[in-house]
Structure 1
Amino acid sequence: MGEWRYGVWCWSLEWQRNLFDWEQKDVDDLMRCLAEVNLVQDSIDGWLWVHDKGGAYSVKNAYKVLMNELSATNGTEELVANEKQSRLSQLVQIESSH
């Protein structure tokens, strides 16, 4: 998965098979997203649900968020991953405490 080198996390992802060309583009997009994440060595990580003031995730709240997105499209568009970046990055952010 990766390793710490001189205090910096370096990703090293390995796949069980050769990737198709279209998958390689997705991996490149993933690596760009991962490059934006600031990992801190020897700290405790946690999750923060950005759609709740207290940061707590609930299925009820996630359902409301998704229904609001469907309402915004008037129900004519499906919630399909048309974008190459994961929708997870829009819904959840990683919080690191020292």
Structure 2
Amino acid sequence: MGRIRQNEERDWCSEIVNKKLGNGGDTRFWLDIWVGTRPLCQVFPRLFSVSLQTHECINQVGEWRNEEWYWNFKCRRRFFVWEDELLTQLMEVIGEVIFSRFDDSWVCAIGDDGGYTVKDGYRFLSDNFSPVIEVVDSLCRVLKRVWKKLSSIEGHNLLLAIIATMFAYSG
């Protein structure tokens, strides 16, 4: 997703669009990236393999009690002693996360305040993927005259004639 050129290995879309965690209702606990840079199933594969909640959203892996969040992990079996250490590490990773009562949302890093406009998107794509074209002054003057001509009524009529001709020859 997000690749414009075949030889580009960079996934620019995931670089600029991020999930903002709210109540965890639209974010899968193990499979989505919501803490760190990788899904928890990759960071803690052993815990993931014994979980009964592999596809559950965050808000289904815990609950609010008296305005405080409590985790409620369900597993196929009791943890081995060495897996308890993994659970402790997991709790350290997710323990600092602050939830809200608002829905999860997506934010765009190229817009102001996480918002997105077509102008921002166009500017980002142009800056990152458009080839650099050097235009000489004489070409600029010619293009300016052509644009003025096309923006006039005669230019409008000329464009309509060109379009009509294209349709006549295409079918």
Q: Give the TM-score, by structure 1 length.
A: 0.43
Q: Give the TM-score, by structure 2 length.
A: 0.26
Higher strand share: 1
Higher helix share: 2
Larger-Rg structure: 2
